[in-house]
Amino acid sequence: MLTALIMAGGSGTRFWPLSREKQPKQYLKIVSDKSMIRMTLDRLDPIVKCSDAFVVTSAMQSVLVSRELPELPAENIIVEPFGMNTAPAIALSSIYLRRKYEGDDIVVVLPSDHVIKDLDAFNASLRSAEALAREGYLVTFGVKPEYPATGYGYIEAGGKKLGGGFEVASFKEKPDHDTAEKFCRKGNFYWNSGMFVWRLDAILEAYRKLAPDLNEILAEISAKWDRDGILADISELYSKMPKIPVDIGIMEKSERRAVIPVDYGWSDVGGWRALMDLKPHDSDGNVMECDCETINSHSNFVKTDKLVALIDVYNLVIVETDDVLLVANKDSSEKVRDIVRRLQGKGLKKCL
């Protein structure tokens, strides 16, 4: 049996001004007529029952999860007191799941805001990962790189074949362009998808061995739940968790890790530029989500309710909401996060 854990606690600041504190990226309908989190749950439908799907999210987003996924049982929403990165979130979720499932149950861990186009290939990869996970491997998925991306971490596959995948030789942080080109030429480097499959007892044992400081706090939280019930306030304990990703806290240290290469139209939809790549373009390479007229303008992304006229401009991202107008060079759209931080520093909460 497969159990799914969907991670939905992020703020999605790279999609500001559309994404806000009260409506983060995973709840937006930016790729289709469904929200990102809805798409994530739906693609699991053939192999994971809704009753076996769980979402871990922040306290302030739990209402949004219920709104977007009304069929999800309330007890299947695991609430973090506050966001602390993926290693604490997965650890907390794992001891929550242990109260319902046996240790040999297989857990699929997925971000809530990714796009996967080939669902048949996705399901096949989960089955391959399940087989390896039953042998005790911590399994991740490596996306075959389409270009030398500098915005993703990379996974180096080793030479040992493991079922439908390979042993992991190493994890690499986001590289510069020259290093990314070398990775692509070698052929055994893959984009780190941030998706995992493992046996429940295997990941809990990995935390015990590889992250003892985190595991000590986890044991205190579990004991508090045993004593005071699952709804007990764990904020003080949880705040002591090391704020690290599971890749660094567990996967980089494990000796039982495997990577399955995949090629199914994956995107983390990391910002406006990535979204533009997923959308239909006109003959000049523009993505115009509005009424528009253009003269000698190309490679622009525009989203607004107004009529827009573009003249002799290119490579722009223009996004308008009721209270904000964003204009950015497409190649600099990652700096939207910097603008958000500036607004936070100035206390302009109404724009966030």
pLDDT at 73: 94
> How many CB atoms are closer than 10 A to CB 286?
21
Task: Give the residue among 179, 157, 161 at the shortest CA–CA distance from 169.
Answer: 157
Q: DSSP secondary structure string, 268-326?
A: ---SHHHHHHHS---TTS-EEES-EEEES-BS-EEE-SS-EEEES-BSEEEEE-SS-EE
**pLDDT beyond 80 at 12:** no
Average per-residue pLDDT in the chain? 93
The predicted structure's pLDDT at residue 210: 97
- pLDDT > 90? residue 165: yes
Q: What percent of the chain has pLDDT over 70?
A: 100
Most confident listed range (16-25, 191-200, 226-235): 191-200
In terms of pLDDT, which residue wins out, 106 or 13?
A: 106
Least confident of 63-77, 217-231, 246-260, 264-278: 264-278
Residues 202/136, Cβ–Cβ less than 8 Å: yes
**pLDDT digits over 31-48, tens only?**
999 999 999 999 999 899
Q: How far apart are CA 277 and CA 294, in angstroms?
A: 20
Residue 220 dihedral angles phi and psi, to the nearest 5°: -65, -40
The Cβ of residue 291 has, within 10 Å, a number of other Cβ atoms equal to: 11
pLDDT of 150? 85
Domains and CATH numbers, the chain: 2-267 (3.90.550.10), 272-351 (no CATH)
